[in-house]
Amino acid sequence: MYNTVDTLNEFIIERQADFPYAKGELSRLLTHIALAAKVVNREVNQAGLVDILGTTGDINVQGETVQKLDDFANTKFAIALKGSSECCGIATEESQDIIKFDTDMAKDGKYIICIDPLDGSSNIDVNVSIGTIFSIYRRISPRGHVAQLQDFLQEGTKQVAAGYIIYGSSTMLVYTTGRGVNGFTLAPSIGEFCLSHRDIQIPLNGSIISANEGYYKQFSAGVRRYLDYCKDIDEETNRPYSSRYIGSLVADFHRNLLKGGIYMYPPTEKFKTGKLRLIYEANPMAMLVEQAGGMAVDHDGGRIMDLVPNDLHQRVPLYIGSRNMVEKLNDFIEEEEEQK
Ligand code: AHG
Ligand code: MN
Ligand code: MN
């Protein structure tokens, strides 16, 4: 006897009916992402056992040290996406330029993917949750040819799907195709992602703030005032809020999505336009949060998904999470601007 479970593959096929003109390409692409996720998960799980910990000694395009697992995840996802034949190219955190897949099958692919193969790299060596973030767009350039840069510089509103994998106390894949957000937990014994979180809704109000408060003094006056407000005692609004910051966007976002909260990465001295990358970190999370009823804006209160990217690795300030919390923070930032 076993309980019936909806596996990711079954769910993807069922949901295909939501898109009457879909021919299954997106479904196949998602299936390949899930497969690569399992391979990466296997390595993440044994990171302490095999000689995969530590750095490769290389510096990536962001000027950061590349971890072996960054490299590993990047390669595995690239192979899976190329092999899916539905994807003509990718933009990844680990490469300066887009990667064009040049097989005949891939050139005919309808989609492109923006990916952060390993998010939260600084947490790998200390056994803290890390993740993968992905975003899928329909290409603009004609099929039958290699992908072009313009395919990757589309507004977030053009995403056809977005999601992440969290390698945590259990491994989950959470994704949206624009009809709500669903979460799947990997059942290690059968090697399948099983539907565990149906139609996720982020609470309108939350009581968790996630920010690297080590940079508090570098934040703008409005952001600082909001953080002070969060620490004030007020029974009616359930303050003070709790502070939770892991330093892996995926893990911080995932917790806030389920429990309610706000994640923020404001401009700092070092990262004057914020640290997080628009196309493979902010946009996919923005699509997920909006699909779950939340909100994602930049420092001017502009919707993240409306921004027109002009660079693959463009950074953006990010305020994302429960709608009422993001709006409140926005009010504080606006007030600060008015006083200037
Ligand atoms: P990545 O590991 O892909 O480079 O991303 C790290 C990002 C994000 O995951 C995290 O929230 C943020 O950097 C943490 O930055 P700080 O250490 O400056 O707080
Ligand atoms: Mn990242
Ligand atoms: Mn990364």
Tokens of 287: 């699509």
Q: Which of 197, 217, 248 is the last residue of a domain?
A: 197
* pLDDT tens digits for range 280-314: 999 999 999 999 999 999 999 999 999 999 999 99
Assess whether 106 and 26 both reside in one domain: yes
Between residues 290 and 56, the one the model is more confident about: 290
Single out the residue of 99, 112, 222 nearest to residue 162, CA to CA. Answer: 112
CA distances from 258 to 135, 192, 199, 209, 288 (A): 20, 22, 11, 14, 12
Tokens of 136: 């899928």
Number of H helices and E strands in the chain, helices first, is 8, 15
Assess whether 212 and 180 both reside in one domain: no
1 pLDDT band (50/70/90 cuts)? very low
Assess whether 162 and 235 both reside in one domain: no
Q: Is residue 3 part of a domain?
A: no
pLDDT of residue 16: 84
Dihedral angle over CA of 336, 215, 298, 248, nearest 10:
-150
Does the N-terminal peptide bond of residue 240 adopt cis geometry, omega within 30 degrees of 0? yes
Instruction: Give percent of the chain above pLDDT 90.
Output: 83
- Does the beta carbon of 92 lie inside 6 Å of ligand 1? no
pLDDT of 254 over the 70 cut: yes
The arithmetic mean of pLDDT across residues 147-174, rounded, is 97
Q: How far is the CA of 118 from the centre of ligand 3 (A)?
A: 4
Q: How much is the pTM?
A: 0.95
What number of residues does the chain have? Answer: 340
Give every CB contact of residue 340 below 8 A, 6+ residues apart in sequence: none
The arithmetic mean of pLDDT across residues 12-24, rounded, is 81
- Does the beta carbon of 93 lie inside 6 Å of ligand 1? yes
Work out whether strand 87-92 and strand 111-119 pair parallel, antiparallel, or are unpaired: parallel
pLDDT of 10 over the 70 cut: yes
Give every CB contact of residue 326 below 8 A, 6+ residues apart in sequence: 262, 294, 295, 296, 297, 319, 320
* Distance, first Cα to last Cα, the chain: 68
Instruction: CATH number of the domain at 113, please.
Output: 3.30.540.10
Assess whether 161 and 243 both reside in one domain: no
pLDDT of residue 62: 72
pLDDT of residue 49: 65
Assess whether 121 and 164 both reside in one domain: yes
Q: Is residue 167 part of a domain?
A: yes
* pLDDT tens digits for range 224-252: 999 999 999 999 999 999 999 999 999 99
Q: Residue 296 carries which side chain, given as an amino acid letter?
A: A
When divided into structural domains, the chain yields a total of 2
Please count the other Cβ atoms lying within 10 Å of the Cβ belonging to residue 65. Answer: 15
Q: Is residue 45 part of a domain?
A: yes
Q: How far is the CA of 334 from the centre of ligand 3 (A)?
A: 31
Assess whether 32 and 164 both reside in one domain: yes
Assess whether 186 and 216 both reside in one domain: no
Question: Which of 69-78, 146-155, 247-256 shows the lowest per-residue confidence on average (mean pLDDT)?
Answer: 69-78
C-alpha span between 27 and 6 (Å, rounded): 15
Question: Which of 21-25, 124-128, 199-203, 293-297 shows the lowest per-residue confidence on average (mean pLDDT)?
Answer: 21-25
Do 256 and 206 contact (CB within 8 A), yes or no?
A: yes
Q: Is residue 143 part of a domain?
A: yes
Relative to the CA of 248, which ligand 1 atom is closest? Answer: 9
Phi and psi based region of residue 193 (left: phi greater than 0; alpha: psi -120 to 50; beta: remaining): beta
Assess whether 245 and 185 both reside in one domain: no
Single out the residue of 286, 263, 264 nearest to residue 220, CA to CA. Answer: 264
Q: How far is the CA of 280 from the centre of ligand 3 (A)?
A: 9
Assess whether 182 and 273 both reside in one domain: no
Relative to the CA of 271, which ligand 1 atom is closest? Answer: 18
Question: Which of 51-60, 110-119, 216-225 shows the lowest per-residue confidence on average (mean pLDDT)?
Answer: 51-60
Sole residue written with tokens 């409306």: 306
Mean predicted lDDT score pLDDT of the chain: 93
Q: Which of 129, 163, 197 is the last residue of a domain?
A: 197
Q: Which of 163, 197, 231 is the last residue of a domain?
A: 197
Assess whether 175 and 244 both reside in one domain: no
Kindly state the helix (H) or strand (E) to which residue 27 belongs, with its residue range. Answer: helix 25-45
C-alpha span between 84 and 112 (Å, rounded): 12
pLDDT of 2 over the 60 cut: no
Greatest Cα pair distance in the chain: 68
- Judged by DSSP in three states, 52 sits in coil
Q: How far is the CA of 116 from the centre of ligand 1 (A)?
A: 11
CA distances from 259 to 192, 202, 209, 292, 337 (A): 25, 7, 11, 12, 31
Give every CB contact of residue 219 below 8 A, 6+ residues apart in sequence: 227, 266, 267, 268
- Does the beta carbon of 119 lie inside 6 Å of ligand 1? yes
Do 47 and 73 contact (CB within 8 A), yes or no?
A: no
- What domain range is 136 assigned to? 8-197
Q: Is residue 2 part of a domain?
A: no
Residue located nearest, by CA, to atom 14 of ligand 1? 247
Q: Is residue 202 part of a domain?
A: no
Residue located nearest, by CA, to atom 3 of ligand 1? 119
- Does the beta carbon of 324 lie inside 6 Å of ligand 1? no
Assess whether 253 and 179 both reside in one domain: no
Assess whether 193 and 62 both reside in one domain: yes
- Does the beta carbon of 330 lie inside 6 Å of ligand 1? no
